């Protein structure tokens, strides 16, 4: 691909994946430019991370719009203004609707803390622990209209620490931070 791709990160929470991606760009391990952080949760910690990183944030609450379509149109306007080419979901806990899917065909990527198609949706780590699986993992995939569906780009196995959610979560996050950066780099250097 010609040039350095401009991307936006969408996040709803802490933003540790945004941080890892931003750090990788700064370290020269990922050739992309984070031009925007979009959050559907004004006040989420990812906003603070973005501020420190010097990346513009767009905090927008879906409840202030009468439809998902109007909410996404508002986001799209901002993405177009900043010439965003890729959308990187990093803990964005909301389904992507038609407005963004049609504007960014095969250009929206997600990370999920399980080996999909196992344990889609919220609290994948908790669900895996309750199920008693011995291994879980991380999936990076293209986004479609479904919940954590879409063609898989990369997966990595993580061993569950039996009865210890905290440690299991730490392992998963460590793998996420490496795998997301690596996968995006492969995708963008094609």
Residue ranges binding ligand GAR (CB under 6 A): 11, 13-17, 90-91, 111-113, 124, 148, 176
- Minimum CB separation of residue 37 from ligand GAR in Å reads 11
Assess contact for 124 and 113: CB atoms under 8 A. Answer: yes
* Integer angstrom CA distances of residue 115 from 11, 79, 125, 154, 185: 20, 30, 10, 10, 21
| Rounded Cα distance, 111 and 89, in Å | 7
129 assigned ligand-binding residue? no
Give the three-class secondary structure for 42.
Answer: coil
Pick the closer one to ligand GAR by CB: 19 or 77. 19
110 assigned ligand-binding residue? yes
Pick the closer one to ligand GAR by CB: 92 or 104. 92
| Rounded Cα distance, 38 and 50, in Å | 10
| Rounded Cα distance, 153 and 161, in Å | 26
Pick the closer one to ligand GAR by CB: 56 or 169. 169
17 assigned ligand-binding residue? yes
125 assigned ligand-binding residue? no
Catalytic member of 112, 131, 141, 173: 112
Respond yes or no: is residue 22 known to be catalytic. Answer: no
- Minimum CB separation of residue 2 from ligand GAR in Å reads 29
- Minimum CB separation of residue 3 from ligand GAR in Å reads 27
| Rounded Cα distance, 104 and 153, in Å | 17
Just list the catalytic residues.
Answer: 112
Question: Which residues participate in the annotated binding site for (6R)-10-formyltetrahydrofolate?
Answer: 68, 93-96, 110
């Amino acid at each position: 691909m010609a040039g350095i791709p401009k991307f936006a990160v969408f996040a709803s929470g802490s933003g540790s994946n945004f941080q890892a991606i931003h750090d990788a760009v700064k370290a020269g391990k990922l050739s992309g430019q984070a031009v925007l952080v979009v959050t559907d949760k004004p006040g989420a910690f990812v906003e603070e991370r973005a501020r420190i990183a010097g990346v513009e944030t767009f905090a927008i609450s879906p409840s202030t719009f009468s439809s998902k379509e109007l909410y996404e149109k508002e986001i799209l306007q901002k993405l177009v203004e900043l010439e965003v080419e890729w959308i990187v979901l990093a803990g964005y806990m909301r389904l992507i609707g038609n407005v963004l899917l049609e504007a960014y065909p095969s250009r929206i990527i997600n990370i999920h803390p399980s080996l999909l198609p196992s344990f889609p949706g919220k609290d994948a780590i908790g669900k895996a622990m309750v199920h008693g699986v011995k291994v879980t993992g991380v999936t990076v995939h293209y986004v479609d209209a479904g919940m954590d569906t879409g063609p898989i780009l990369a997966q990595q196995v993580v061993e569950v620490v039996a009865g210890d959610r905290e440690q299991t979560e730490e392992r998963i996050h460590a793998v996420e931070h490496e795998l997301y950066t690596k996968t995006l780099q492969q995708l963008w250097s094609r």
